């Protein structure tokens, strides 16, 4: 927040915890089609780790991890990955998100499905993470706080 004195225990704990939260979020994203989890949950966890850093070490230093100006571009990139995968299969003769029309060589039908779902989940997680962080940044900016 705007308080000048920051608690060193909070800073150290959140800086130690953040990489592990992000690692687990990546596991959730990339293991999403075998177990519980997926793009939305992983993206929300990535956003939660960044918001934890924003709250504890302050906006200036947590911008080293994720800049305020990246919110809209990264969110748009995630939406582009999602829609691009769907439209690519549409262009190559299938229907929207019909994964086995993806132009990846030497992959069987089941492997193409797996790869397509992975692309979708990466796109969804990027979009969710960027938009949730952007909502927080907009709230802080609108109130004039740091």
Residue numbers at the binding site for another protein (CB under 8 A): 1, 28, 36-38, 40-41, 44-45, 47-48, 51-52, 55, 132, 135-136, 139-140, 143, 145
Least distance to another protein, CB of residue 55, Å: 7
8 A C-beta contact, residue 47 and residue 89: no
Least distance to another protein, CB of residue 115, Å: 21
Nearer to another protein among residue 88 and residue 140 (C-beta): 140
Least distance to another protein, CB of residue 54, Å: 9
Q: How many CB atoms lie within 10 A of CB 113?
A: 16
Least distance to another protein, CB of residue 123, Å: 18
What's the burial of 106, exposed, middle or buried (CB within 10 Å: 0-12/13-18/19+)? exposed
Nearer to another protein among residue 111 and residue 138 (C-beta): 138
48 vs 10: CA distance, rounded Å = 15
60 vs 103: CA distance, rounded Å = 43
32 vs 118: CA distance, rounded Å = 8
Nearer to another protein among residue 55 and residue 77 (C-beta): 55
Nearer to another protein among residue 21 and residue 88 (C-beta): 21
């Amino acid at each position: 927040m705007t308080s000048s004195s920051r608690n060193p225990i909070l800073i150290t704990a959140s800086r130690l915890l953040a990489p592990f939260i992000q690692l687990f979020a990546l596991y959730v994203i990339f293991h999403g089609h075998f177990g519980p989890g997926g793009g939305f949950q992983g993206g929300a966890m990535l956003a939660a780790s960044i918001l934890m850093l924003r709250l504890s070490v302050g906006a200036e230093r947590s911008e080293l991890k994720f800049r305020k100006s990246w919110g809209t571009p990264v969110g748009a990139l995630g939406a582009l990955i999602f829609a691009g995968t769907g439209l690519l299969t549409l262009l190559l003769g299938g229907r929207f998100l019909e994964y086995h029309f993806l132009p990846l060589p030497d992959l069987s039908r089941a492997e193409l499905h797996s790869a397509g779902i992975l692309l979708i989940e990466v796109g969804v997680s990027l979009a969710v993470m960027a938009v949730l962080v952007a909502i927080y940044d907009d709230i802080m900016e609108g109130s004039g706080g740091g």
